[in-house]
Amino acid sequence: MSATVSPLPASRARLGLRTGLLVALLLLAAMPVLNQLPTTHPLHVSDFLVSVTGKWICYAILALSLDLAWGYAGILSLGHGAFFALGGYAMGMHLMRLIGPRGVYGHPVLPDFMVFLGYRELPWYWLGFDHFAFAMLMVVLVPGVLALVLGWLAFRSRITGVYLSIITQAMTYALMLAFFRNDMGFGGNNGFTDFKELLGQPLNTSAARSGLFYASLIALAGAFLLCSRITASKYGRVLTAIRDGENRVRFLGYNTTHHKLFAFVLSAMLAGVAGALYVPQVGIINPGEFSPANSIEAVIWVAVGGRGTLVGAILGAFTVNGLKTWLTSAAPDLWLFVLGGLFVLVTLFLPKGLIGLLKGRGA
Amino acid sequence: MKNTLLAFLLLLAAALPARAQDAFVAALPGLAGNFNAQAEAVERLGALADPRAIPVLRALTDGRLLKRPDNTLVIREGTTTTDVLTGAATDAAGTEALRINNRVRVALRGALGRLQLVSPDPAERLAAAEAVFRTRSADNVPLLDAALARETVPRIRDRMAIALAASRLMASDPAAKLLGVEALGASASPEARAVLLEARAANPDILPQIEAAVAAIDRRLAVRRAAETFFQGLSLGSVLLLAALGLAVTFGVMGVINMAHGEFVMLGAYTTFIVQEACRGIPWLLPWSLPLSVPAAFLVAALCGAAMERGLIRHLYGRPLETLLMTFGVGMMIQQSVRLVFGAQNREVLSPPWMQGTLLLPFDIPVTQNRLWILAFSLVVLGLTVAAIRFTRFGLEMRAVTQKRAIASSMGIRTGRVDALTFAFGSGIAGIAGVALSQIDNVSPNLGTGYIIDSFLVVVFGGVGSLAGTLVGAFGLGLVNKILEPWAGAVLAKVFVLIAAMIFIQRRPRGLFAQKGRAAEA
């Protein structure tokens, strides 16, 4: 449990990473612009690549949030996909309300699936979601409150390690079952889809797509800066200390429950933001996002990149998802072997992930 | 064979009361008379509850009833003709077919319907009882009485009794009505309850008795429902017990968290399938393929477990989170391998004949046989596991190594070997669970996924330090799930179980043989 991942020394390596990160950021930012070039142009970036990169950026935010909880606070959450999905559902509810009377059934207020299921009026928990600000508040608030309740119950009872992992996995499993039900009022099996517009912009235009792309990129950069600040602060040091020896920190007089709770809740909120940015880009959200396998896949992104490094989480999310996108079309049968192999490889031979590998080379 | 015997018995029973026989014989000549006499004779035969009347009336309906010049009757059956009274084959010469009109036809239909209550065919009798129950009328009482006296099949008797009671309720005689209410109140059928509720408006004079009868039925139905829920809970519990028992060994005893546990269960189920296919060539062996699968599944899963422990897990001892991730990856690869080899679709594993069918316990509680077998099987596996840990050399060494590895090692126990064996043992039990699950679940590559979270909850929930905890945890979870399900839904039941598990973790389950002191804080 007390696997130590030493923070990177403020050295050449760190400087190199910072520069690399900045270059990567600029390259990413250039993608929608290059997409506008004529298709024959050698620097043209295809629509597919832009949209898939937009997805990966959202995954990177999720990985970042998970790294904050696992890499720094030692909370291995196997349920972060649930926070991601809840943020996505909050955004999805807003998008559904914005469809208005343009649905198949043409009902002025009710989304199609509610008309289909025989709802007479909007359930109370759907009220307010027609306002963008309210919906965005819910994007962070719903995952945050769930993390607060779950974390408070768990950390107060000193549930740590694998027990906590199992509990979080059971949480996302229970939520998945719940969201599959039609009478929950969240579209059941099919979830939400057929979104029309966001902030007055039709979603199917390239302007809206690049807007969402940049919003995700800014969110990623912002989340990275926030997490770097936090982990470098005194609070961050205490958090790392809790990860490495919770009892000792407790005996030194720190309230470890509150420290962990803050990190866990913030992490859940970031995951919610990631989900909210993800949904309008892929155009659908359904209960499958709650599946435990999704959450554990996110864990492996962080592990592959190198946990407790923040940069590693982002790197891992891009690497693994890049591999996944390539392999699932090139050799679909092989992908699960590669993913499973990654789990084994990283835990046995690469405990510090790709970042550890790079750092080893640089030193 | 059974039917002929039954018919024989019925004939015997019919022959006993001489008066009834006389009435049958006496009514016959009427059939040869004019239409009025025919209708009258049909009515009389219909009221007789004598099964011999059925073929005669059927023959009359189909125009196959012939009369001789002396007004005795014969039935034509294809090319042969038989005498109605003696049943002997006779000559068809000089006979003429009997004709009927609409009035006789109506009478025939009613009479045949009622006569089916004494038909030699049990299915026909049951259908007739249902029909009489639906069209309940006081006229049917004597008929039902006669049929009931003759009936030998318990299930049909029950239906007839309810039909009789419901018909009595329609009578004008208050005493008969009370008799009917009483009989209905003694049953445990929802239909009887509905009849009683319906009768409330028409019978204000005996309202208290009706209410009492309804209450009695409600009580019986509640008991039956409770018993059904209880059995379903036990059944779910036994499945959870099987799935969690191996986990209680690997996770509870060794502290190794194995996310591929569900895949070992799945491997056990596929082993069952392979053994069954192998036995197909040898017909006398086929019914025994399931018992044969138990050791086979144990071996396959145990070998996989041992390989995994020696090859991978032992490098990660003391790092539970890494173990969790690594085993998850291995599980993923096992699942994908099986999917590639056997295909993603479900494989069919047959139940041996002695496991099929449904058993009816008292109060009509239906119990499927294979679930009963699995319940017993899970307890046997639990007993064997306990015995292996407590009474064998291997169990002793296992306990020694978990309690104090260094001392055990210095006493000459090869701890590495014990680790491998323990893990193999736990995985083998998972394989056995797969054999049982192949009987009630779809054998598909993701068979194990559905059980893994619940199994962990069982171990955590009941894992206060012993296999007994696992037993309590499994049946507790099964019962709580099934009891909560009807009114809270499956989801809320899960959430409740989750919270309960969190409360239980506070009691700190640190494996079956809890370590105390500094060593406990890993």
* Residues A249-266 pLDDT 10s: 889 989 888 999 999 999
d(C-alpha A151, C-alpha A267), whole Å: 11
Find tokens 């002695």 and name the residue. Answer: B354
Q: How confident is the model at residue B305 (pLDDT cuts 50, 70, 90)?
A: very high
CATH architecture group of domain B224-349+373-513: Orthogonal Bundle (1.10)
In DSSP notation, B327-386 reads HHHHHHHHHHHHHHHH-SSPBP-PPPGGG-SEEEEGGGEEEEHHHHHHHHHHHHHHHHHH
Question: Does A344 contact B453 at a Cβ distance shorter than 8 Å?
Answer: no
- pLDDT at site B109: 78
Q: Which residue has the higher pLDDT, B215 or B510?
A: B215
d(C-alpha A29, C-alpha A53), whole Å: 11
* Closest to A304 measured CA to CA, from A274, A283, A324, A328: A324
Find tokens 């009936």 and name the residue. Answer: B151
CA distance, residue B463 to nearest chain A CA (Å): 12
- pLDDT at site B514: 45
Q: Give me the phi and psi of B97, to 5 degrees please.
A: -70, 145
* Closest to B382 measured CA to CA, from B433, B341, B328, B313: B433
Q: Would you call B271 an interface residue with chain A, using a CB distance cutoff of 8 Å?
A: no
Q: Which of B315, B481, B491 to mutate to test the interface with A (most CBs of A within 10 A)?
A: B491
Exposure letters B203-236 (e unless 16+ CB within 10 A, then b):
beebeebbeebbebbeebbeebeebbeebbbbbb
- pLDDT at site A86: 94
Mean pLDDT calculated for residue range B506-513: 49
- pLDDT at site B271: 93
Per-chain mean pLDDT for chain A:
85
- pLDDT at site B466: 66
Q: Which residues of chain A does B324 touch, with a Cβ-Cβ cutoff of 8 Å?
A: 76, 162, 165
Q: How confident is the model at residue B16 (pLDDT cuts 50, 70, 90)?
A: very low
Alpha-carbon dihedral sign for residues B291, B296, B301, B305:
positive
Q: Considering CB atoms only, which of B332, B460, B501 is closest to A339?
A: B332
Does the pLDDT of residue A363 top 50, yes or no? no
* Residues A286-299 pLDDT 10s: 898 998 889 988 99
- pLDDT at site B5: 52
Q: Give bridge partners of residue A352 from the DSSP assignment.
A: none
d(C-alpha B206, C-alpha B138), whole Å: 17
Question: Does B312 contact A178 at a Cβ distance shorter than 8 Å?
Answer: no
Q: Would you call B520 an interface residue with chain A, using a CB distance cutoff of 8 Å?
A: no
Q: Which residue has the higher pLDDT, A137 or B316?
A: A137
Question: Does A165 contact B323 at a Cβ distance shorter than 8 Å?
Answer: no
Q: What percent of chain A has pLDDT over 70?
A: 95
Q: Considering CB atoms only, which of A163, A181, A299 is closest to B460?
A: A163
- pLDDT at site A222: 93
Q: Which residue has the higher pLDDT, A198 or A285?
A: A285
Q: Which residues of chain B does A178 touch, with a Cβ-Cβ cutoff of 8 Å?
A: 491
Q: Which residues of chain B does A165 touch, with a Cβ-Cβ cutoff of 8 Å?
A: 321, 324
**Least confident piece of the model among A206-210, A227-231, B393-397:** A206-210
Q: Which residue has the higher pLDDT, A91 or B358?
A: A91
Mean pLDDT calculated for residue range A202-222: 87
d(C-alpha B406, C-alpha A164), whole Å: 29
**Helical (H) or strand (E) element with B76:** strand B73-77
Mean pLDDT calculated for residue range B186-190: 75
Does the pLDDT of residue A238 top 80, yes or no? yes
Question: Does A167 contact B495 at a Cβ distance shorter than 8 Å?
Answer: no
- pLDDT at site B518: 41
**Least confident piece of the model among B366-370, B399-403, B445-449, B490-494:** B490-494
* Residues A9-61 pLDDT 10s: 445 556 677 787 788 888 887 777 777 777 777 777 777 888 888 899 999 99
Q: Which of B247, B333, B504 to mutate to test the interface with A (most CBs of A within 10 A)?
A: B333
Q: How confident is the model at residue B462 (pLDDT cuts 50, 70, 90)?
A: low
- pLDDT at site A263: 93
Q: How confident is the model at residue B170 (pLDDT cuts 50, 70, 90)?
A: confident
Exposure letters A97-133 (e unless 16+ CB within 10 A, then b):
bbbeeebeeeeeebbbbbbeeebeebeeebeebbeee
Find tokens 């966001």 and name the residue. Answer: A198
Q: Which residues of chain A does B320 touch, with a Cβ-Cβ cutoff of 8 Å?
A: 1, 161-162
Does the pLDDT of residue A91 top 80, yes or no? yes
Q: Which residue has the higher pLDDT, B410 or B21?
A: B410
d(C-alpha B88, C-alpha B402), whole Å: 87
- pLDDT at site B18: 47
Q: Would you call B316 an interface residue with chain A, using a CB distance cutoff of 8 Å?
A: yes
CA distance, residue B336 to nearest chain A CA (Å): 7
- pLDDT at site B464: 47
- pLDDT at site A3: 46
- pLDDT at site A270: 94
Q: Which amino acid is at A109?
A: V
Does the pLDDT of residue B392 top 80, yes or no? yes
Does the pLDDT of residue A268 top 90, yes or no? yes
**Least confident piece of the model among B202-206, B262-266, B433-437:** B202-206
Mean pLDDT calculated for residue range A230-245: 90
Q: How confident is the model at residue B512 (pLDDT cuts 50, 70, 90)?
A: very low
CA distance, residue B225 to nearest chain A CA (Å): 26
Question: Does A174 contact B494 at a Cβ distance shorter than 8 Å?
Answer: yes
**Least confident piece of the model among A270-274, A331-335, B27-31:** B27-31
Q: Which residues of chain A does B521 touch, with a Cβ-Cβ cutoff of 8 Å?
A: 247
Q: Which of B453, B454, B481 to mutate to test the interface with A (most CBs of A within 10 A)?
A: B453
The 3-state DSSP class for residue A71 equals: helix
Q: What percent of chain B has pLDDT over 70?
A: 88
Q: Is the ipTM of this complex over 0.90?
A: no
Structure token pair of residue B340: 């590639």
| Domain span(s) for CATH 1.10.3470 in chain B | 224-349+373-513
Does the pLDDT of residue A4 top 70, yes or no? no
Does the pLDDT of residue A199 top 70, yes or no? yes
- pLDDT at site B469: 77
Question: Does B325 contact A303 at a Cβ distance shorter than 8 Å?
Answer: yes
Q: How far is CA B501 from CA A67, B146, B291, B456, B507, in A?
A: 27, 61, 35, 10, 10
Q: What percent of chain B has pLDDT over 90?
A: 11
CA distance, residue B370 to nearest chain A CA (Å): 28
- pLDDT at site B504: 66
Per-chain mean pLDDT for chain B:
79
Find tokens 């090859």 and name the residue. Answer: B311
Question: Does B498 contact A165 at a Cβ distance shorter than 8 Å?
Answer: no
Q: Give me the phi and psi of A119, to 5 degrees please.
A: -70, 145
Q: How confident is the model at residue B520 (pLDDT cuts 50, 70, 90)?
A: very low
Q: Which residues of chain A does B260 touch, with a Cβ-Cβ cutoff of 8 Å?
A: none
Q: Which residue has the higher pLDDT, B243 or B463?
A: B243
Does the pLDDT of residue B425 top 50, yes or no? yes
Mean pLDDT calculated for residue range B32-42: 83
Does the pLDDT of residue B463 top 70, yes or no? no
Q: Would you call B320 an interface residue with chain A, using a CB distance cutoff of 8 Å?
A: yes
Does the pLDDT of residue B499 top 60, yes or no? yes
Mean pLDDT calculated for residue range B436-452: 84
- pLDDT at site B513: 43
Q: How confident is the model at residue B7 (pLDDT cuts 50, 70, 90)?
A: low
- pLDDT at site A260: 92
